[in-house]
Structure 1
Amino acid sequence: MTEELTQGVAATRPITYIQAAVITVLVVFAILAGAVAFFFGVVAGLVVFVGLLLLAGVYHVSNLFKLVRWLRTPVEQSAPLPRAFGLWDDVFAEVNHRSRTATHRQERLSAALDRFREASQAMPHGLMFLSQTNTIEWVNRQGEQQFGLDRARDQGAPVTNIVRQPDFVRYLKEGDYTEPLTFTIGRPVGRTLMVHVVPFSEDMHLLMSEDITQGQRVEAMRRDFVANVSHEMRTPLTVVSGFLETVIDGLDDLEKDDIRHYLGLAAEQAVRMQRLIQDLLTLSALETGSPVPHEEPVDVAALLEEVRQEAEVVSAGRHTIDLDCQTRAHLLGNPKELYSVFANLAINAVRYTPAGGHIRIGWRRRGAVVDYSVEDDGIGIAAEHIPRLTERFYRVDRGRSRETGGTGLGLAIVKHVLSRHQGDLLIDSEPGRGSRFTASFPARRLVE
């Protein structure tokens, strides 16, 4: 501050002007002293000269105290600028100008810092400033969530004391940041992060983190999907190819009944592939978020009668199938998609219920919801399988599912169609006691 004061004064008053003022004062004092000495004697002149010097010193000291007191006053209290005469008035004005300039500069820097923090909080990636010793200087909200940090508690602590994942600790310790690091962190929840570290000064680093958990899951689902489709298509293709080769090689030796039998088996497998491809196309359209087709009031009672008839065809008289419609209200939705949901659940019940079993199809309103339910007394499902039933190609019993002609995509289609109609799928099952699948829709979609 002293240096700035000196520079400010020097900038406003040239050195020659100050020297001239000092010389002028001294000359005046000398003339006065000479005059006093002339009239009152040498001693009286010296007394007056010393008195004048003391008065000048008191004046300067009082102005210095004013300046110090004003500088120590907090900025927010807005103390008035001291007033003085001559050179001190210029000093006060210059100091005030510099103070205001510094205050405005600080306000601009604070505003820029606030904007940066707001922008960093809005970013989808985590940001963390680390010192040379990897202590946390600052972290945004995404970084807190991804690493399980608390900025108020963890600021100033080494990040490796909190995030103890070995690959992450080794990455920071080695200091080679040419490639990003991907690792799995288990706290607060399991997630996969990709981090980049960018040194931006001699003793500071910027750590940027991105949560790629969902991307990893999608990639795993894609690999599983390709593997499952390949597996599902391989079996019918092998059967079709084998039967056709048998017929071609033995065309002259085989009986017509044998040829008809082999071609019939090949045709069954071809139909199975067609059904699989159709389900794949349907599921792909649903998962890519294609818009819901035209919705209209659907006569659910008539639709369920068609579902019951189709289920009886698949059952071939092996089961008792009952239909109970307790409401005649129509449901706002897409008829084709709703039929897919209702038929999938009903035919699944037929496939997994032994001969002689009983299947009940119901449609009733229950308070704020309306339920389509399919209940059977079949083989049932163990509790550990229920959360995964709507996954693509997931089967509790793969062998039995293939025997009954299932593609493994039916419940996945049901889940997506219900989501498009604001519905939910509820599953209640017990091994050996049967299952109950309920598609629940909000009653506001009913049209009386």
Structure 2
Amino acid sequence: MKRFRSRFLNAQFVILFLVFSILVVFIGNLFEGILFDNASEEALSNMWLILILSFTGAFFIIVYLSLRISNQLTKPLEGALNVANELASGNFKARTYEYKLDETGQLSHALNILARNLQNMTNSYEIQQNRLMTLIENMDSGLILIDSKGHINLVNRFYKETFHIKTEEYLDLLYYEALPYREIIRLVEETLLVEQTVRKQVELQVGIEMRHFDVSGAPILNHDEKLKGVVLVFHDITELKKLEQMRKDFVANVSHELKTPVTSLKGFAETLLDGAMENKAFRTRFLTIILNESDRLQSLIQDLLDLSKMEQKHFALNWQDVDLKEVIDDCLLMTKSKADKKSIEVEISYNGDLQIKGDANRLKQVFLNLIANSITYTPEGGSVRIFVNEEKDAVQFTISDNGIGIRQEELPRIFERFYRVDRARSRNSGGTGLGLAIVKHLVEAHQGQIAVNSQPGEGTTFVITLNKERQY
């Protein structure tokens, strides 16, 4: 614009100079020939001087006016051109001065409206883009965006944290070079081939752990139905798979535990009906077995009902003042015959004030389970030691035996339903496999804590800590 303005002014000056020169010569000659035929040379010289000065003054006045007019014409165009350049470079905040409403003023006004619209559109786009990126980055599923050429354009935070990778390990690389899992590569290839959503459940190794994912590959199509890329979404379903496996194990264990006593009941009943009842010794023996299996079946069903009730939201304890010494003494009395049969010495030590807030019946269930377990898994002639001590704001119950013990890798699972460290020995002992699961639920319902320590062949120690007062 400045170059155009300079050329325009130069052309104006040349034209004006030529026009005025011609006019001066023409008018001078005209006046000299018409008016001053008989004039002296001095008069002619003065006439020429006046003429030249007049035309020179007129020339500068016209030049000045031309400059003013040129500025009025070119300055709005310069402003409009500058704003257009700024808009082209992405600066949508640029504005030009709006002159009077002639053609140039209308142009400036139109450019300002265009700039404002572009700025509003850009701001709206940035807000939407930020919202979308915030959503993608904070979603609880992994996401990978692949373009139509197979390059990875985006990897969200969940995927990077889950698979322990960095952005540069994936970004702008071809998907089959970056992704280390053959199942996912095949899923992307199938999505690109059929141009439809493909969904699979896969098990992938993440570090040293195997995790389950529900992976969806969806094609990205434009308005012309042309493929623009593929988006991969990873839903971590590891916990769901664990729960599903626990449910399957629970059903299988319950079925097995119920099947064993039912089979015994049916078998011995059929044996009696087939003629064994005529023999008094057989009849007494078989009926005793039937009674024991019925007790075992009843115990299993009761434990299942108790555990189910404890896991319900409306399960509540009957809070009252409880003397733990009385509760534990009752439990020792109930297990005395079992300990005497195996010649197991049970030692008990009470220290301090053992009054707490709790449910006496449920606490009796806890201590009875632990004492019975210690006696069951302690060999004949062994010993069980119980210490009940008052702490600052709690009471600690510790029971130790010198029984078979538990391996370290087994300890985290002993509170699972139906989990048995030694299945054959546990089943022969008559346990249901639910005792420790019930103990853990009841201790936690009392807002207490339970811990276990054990060494194979040396024995096991359980420690329960119960608050003296109920925590609200």
Residue 192 in 1 paired to residue 195 in 2?
A: no
Question: Quick one: distance in 1 between partners of 2:27 and 2:284?
Answer: 149
| SS of alignment partner, residue 203 of structure 1 | strand
- Counterpart for residue 368 of structure 2: 343
Aligned letter for 1:126?
Answer: G
Alpha carbons of structure 1 residues 151 and 299: separation in structure 2 relative to 1, 3 Å = farther
Report the Cα offset of residue 250 of structure 1.
1.3
Question: Contact between 1:297 and 1:332, CA under 8 Å: does it hold in 2?
Answer: yes
CA RMSD of superposed structures (Å): 3.6
Question: Quick one: distance in 1 between partners of 2:176 and 2:355?
Answer: 61
2:232 is aligned, of 189, 207, 224, to: 207
- Counterpart for residue 86 of structure 2: 72
Q: Structure 1 length normalisation: TM-score? A: 0.80
Report the Cα offset of residue 228 of structure 1.
1.4
- Counterpart for residue 12 of structure 2: none
| Structure label with greater radius of gyration | 2
Q: Which structure 2 residues correspond to residues 96-175 of structure 1 after superposition, within 5 A? A: 96-151=112-167, 154-175=170-191
Alpha carbons of structure 1 residues 106 and 153: separation in structure 2 relative to 1, 3 Å = farther
Question: Contact between 1:382 and 1:430, CA under 8 Å: does it hold in 2?
Answer: yes
Alpha carbons of structure 1 residues 252 and 120: separation in structure 2 relative to 1, 3 Å = closer
Aligned letter for 1:216?
Answer: K
Report the Cα offset of residue 213 of structure 1.
0.9
Report the Cα offset of residue 392 of structure 1.
2.0
Alpha carbons of structure 1 residues 209 and 408: separation in structure 2 relative to 1, 3 Å = same
**Where in structure 2 are there 5+ consecutive unaligned residues?**
1-17, 29-54, 222-226
Question: Quick one: distance in 2 between partners of 1:142 and 1:334?
Answer: 45
Report the Cα offset of residue 417 of structure 1.
2.3
- Residues 179-205 of structure 1 show CA distances to partners (whole Å, capped at 9, x for unaligned) of 411112222543211111221222122
- Counterpart for residue 386 of structure 1: 411
Residue 356 in 1 paired to residue 381 in 2?
A: yes
Q: Which structure 2 residues correspond to residues 77-92 of structure 1 after superposition, within 5 A? A: 81-84=96-99, 86-92=102-108
| SS of alignment partner, residue 191 of structure 1 | strand
Question: Quick one: distance in 1 between partners of 2:320 and 2:404?
Answer: 37
Residue 331 in 1 paired to residue 347 in 2?
A: no
- Counterpart for residue 224 of structure 1: 249
Aligned letter for 1:183?
Answer: V
Question: Quick one: distance in 1 between partners of 2:27 and 2:309?
Answer: 114
Aligned letter for 1:187?
Answer: V
Aligned letter for 1:359?
Answer: V
Question: Quick one: distance in 2 between partners of 1:42 and 1:302?
Answer: 140
- Counterpart for residue 311 of structure 1: 335
Question: Quick one: distance in 1 between partners of 2:134 and 2:164?
Answer: 20
- Residues 89-148 of structure 1 show CA distances to partners (whole Å, capped at 9, x for unaligned) of 222221111100111111112222223333444543333322124433234333333443
Question: Quick one: distance in 2 between partners of 1:239 and 1:339?
Answer: 31
- Counterpart for residue 315 of structure 2: 291
Report the Cα offset of residue 348 of structure 1.
0.2
Alpha carbons of structure 1 residues 167 and 319: separation in structure 2 relative to 1, 3 Å = same
Question: Quick one: distance in 2 between partners of 1:385 and 1:367?
Answer: 32
Question: Quick one: distance in 1 between partners of 2:400 and 2:129?
Answer: 63
| SS of alignment partner, residue 206 of structure 2 | coil
Report the Cα offset of residue 398 of structure 1.
1.9
Between the aligned residues of both structures, percent identity stands at 28
Question: Quick one: distance in 2 between partners of 1:129 and 1:252?
Answer: 77
Alpha carbons of structure 1 residues 445 and 364: separation in structure 2 relative to 1, 3 Å = farther
- Residues 300-359 of structure 1 show CA distances to partners (whole Å, capped at 9, x for unaligned) of 222111122122133245222122222324333333332222211111001011122211
Q: Which structure 2 residues correspond to residues 4-83 of structure 1 after superposition, within 5 A? A: 60-70=73-83, 71-72=85-86, 81-83=96-98
1:398 is aligned, of 407, 412, 423, to: 423
Alpha carbons of structure 1 residues 164 and 252: separation in structure 2 relative to 1, 3 Å = closer
- Residues 388-418 of structure 1 show CA distances to partners (whole Å, capped at 9, x for unaligned) of 2122222222222122211111112222223
Alpha carbons of structure 1 residues 165 and 315: separation in structure 2 relative to 1, 3 Å = same
Aligned letter for 1:264?
Answer: T
- Counterpart for residue 372 of structure 1: 397
Question: Quick one: distance in 2 between partners of 1:252 and 1:127?
Answer: 71
Alpha carbons of structure 1 residues 297 and 127: separation in structure 2 relative to 1, 3 Å = farther
Q: Structure 2 length normalisation: TM-score? A: 0.76
- Counterpart for residue 180 of structure 1: 199
Alpha carbons of structure 1 residues 205 and 288: separation in structure 2 relative to 1, 3 Å = farther
**Worse-superposed segment, 36-45 or 113-122:** 36-45
Question: Quick one: distance in 1 between partners of 2:356 and 2:119?
Answer: 67
Alpha carbons of structure 1 residues 312 and 135: separation in structure 2 relative to 1, 3 Å = farther
Alpha carbons of structure 1 residues 363 and 136: separation in structure 2 relative to 1, 3 Å = farther
Question: Contact between 1:344 and 1:411, CA under 8 Å: does it hold in 2?
Answer: yes
Question: Quick one: distance in 1 between partners of 2:272 and 2:386?
Answer: 44
Alpha carbons of structure 1 residues 91 and 425: separation in structure 2 relative to 1, 3 Å = same
Question: Quick one: distance in 2 between partners of 1:443 and 1:154?
Answer: 56
Aligned length: 414
Question: Quick one: distance in 2 between partners of 1:169 and 1:75?
Answer: 39
Question: Quick one: distance in 1 between partners of 2:69 and 2:230?
Answer: 57
Report the Cα offset of residue 229 of structure 1.
1.6
| SS of alignment partner, residue 260 of structure 2 | helix
